[in-house]
């Protein structure tokens, strides 16, 4: 089997998996209402989430076949095989139940180390004042969608922007679908609009669209382990564009995401919520914990999907990479990780891959 055939197979199976949809509770609004109803009466309640039941036996077999075919095909074959293993682990995570969910998530995404946790605590230190992130969320999802669509048209990117109720974050980007998805249930504060354009368009979309110019789809959809670099690069872009000076609450939220992961490894939903409520209004505290507990059915149990610490750990690693003179432009060749830079650069030099067409304004003096 040729590399392009393996790549196409990976893309097809990734589309069938649809991880974001698999870990979005079907009853999330009902459980949120139950949580706050109990809270108003002074009672503890841990949401019990429900998910679509799907069998992935056939997909697991197909992934194993693709893995066998990828052996002995050089560095690109190694990258595709790593992606196959990554997808196989995600399949196990979403189909294995609460007992194995966290352990598999830790294998896929890792766990926050002491440096990440301490840095997050440092950001939040002295900020135990409920309401610090309580800006008026007056920008509607429809208005945010109009802004994102306008940025896409202005830059002639050819992507779509879709309102949906099937995601937990405010906004998410799919390189596979060439689409920015916006949550219909959540508004935005005006200060975060510019930041989100930098974060979502000039990082996530640029990396995705540059990936589509590569000969393999995996560069648009994401190599194995790309997410930490993805989010760290987005925060670096926010910092260099001056957005974090305007949206001053955002680093607090990034830090809280990392701490929510660290705490959720040992605590249930309500306990983590109670800790986050010391820093944030109840609505935001709930969102923080819902993000990390999604994928779980019984959220009273310890455990979570661990990847939300990537915002802080990725920021620390990207900042160091940039300070040491790392090539920032190569990171926009697709959805790759810092660890992929050397072989991707070599592949570009050899003409196997292409240099990124879209670079953000702050990157190496380039203009979009």
In the predicted structure, residue 287 carries a pLDDT above the cut 50:
yes
Give tens-digit pLDDT for 219-267: 999 999 999 999 999 999 999 999 999 898 899 999 999 999 999 999 9
Per-residue pLDDT at 17: 87
Write down the pTM of the prediction. Answer: 0.92
Give tens-digit pLDDT for 120-145: 999 998 655 554 545 688 999 999 99
Query: Could you tell me which of 284, 254, 238, 253 has the C-alpha nearest to residue 136?
Result: 284
Per-residue pLDDT at 133: 47
Per-residue pLDDT at 136: 83
Q: Residue 342 in contact with residue 141, Cβ under 8 Å? A: no
Average pLDDT, the chain: 93
């Amino acid at each position: 089997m040729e590399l392009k055939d393996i790549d196409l197979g990976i893309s097809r199976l990734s589309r069938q998996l649809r991880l974001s949809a698999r870990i979005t509770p079907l009853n999330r609004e009902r459980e949120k209402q139950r949580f706050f109803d109990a809270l108003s009466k002074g009672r503890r309640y841990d949401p019990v989430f429900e998910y679509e039941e799907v069998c992935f036996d056939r997909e697991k077999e197909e992934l194993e076949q693709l893995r066998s075919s990828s052996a002995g095909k050089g560095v690109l074959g190694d990258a595709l095989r790593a992606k196959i293993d990554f997808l196989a682990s995600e399949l196990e995570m979403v189909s294995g139940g609460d007992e194995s969910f966290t352990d598999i998530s830790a294998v896929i995404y890792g766990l926050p180390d002491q440096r990440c946790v301490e840095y997050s605590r440092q950001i939040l230190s002295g900020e135990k004042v409920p309401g610090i992130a309580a800006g008026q969320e007056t920008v509607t999802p429809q208005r945010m969608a109009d802004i994102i669509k306008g940025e896409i048209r202005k830059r002639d990117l050819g992507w779509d922007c879709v309102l949906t109720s099937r995601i937990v974050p405010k906004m998410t980007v799919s390189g596979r679908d060439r689409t920015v998805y916006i949550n219909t249930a959540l508004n935005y504060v005006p200060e975060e609009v510019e930041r989100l354009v930098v974060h979502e368009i000039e990082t996530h979309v640029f990396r995705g669209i540059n990936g589509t110019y590569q000969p393999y789809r995996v560069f648009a959809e994401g190599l194995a382990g790309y997410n930490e670099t993805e989010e760290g690069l987005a925060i670096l872009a926010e910092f260099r564009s001056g957005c974090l000076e305007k949206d001053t609450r955002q680093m607090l939220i990034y830090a809280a995401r990392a701490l929510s992961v660290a705490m959720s490894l040992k605590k249930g939903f309500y306990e983590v919520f109670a800790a986050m409520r010391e820093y944030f209004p109840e609505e935001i505290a709930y969102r923080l914990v819902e993000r990390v507990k999604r994928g779980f059915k019984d959220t009273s149990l310890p455990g979570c999907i661990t990847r939300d610490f990537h915002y802080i750990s990725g920021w620390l690693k990207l900042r160091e990479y940039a300070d040491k003179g790392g090539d920032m432009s190569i990171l926009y060749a697709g959805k790759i990780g810092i660890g992929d830079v050397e072989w991707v650069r070599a592949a570009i030099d050899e003409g196997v891959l292409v240099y990124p067409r879209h670079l953000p304004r702050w990157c190496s003096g380039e203009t979009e």
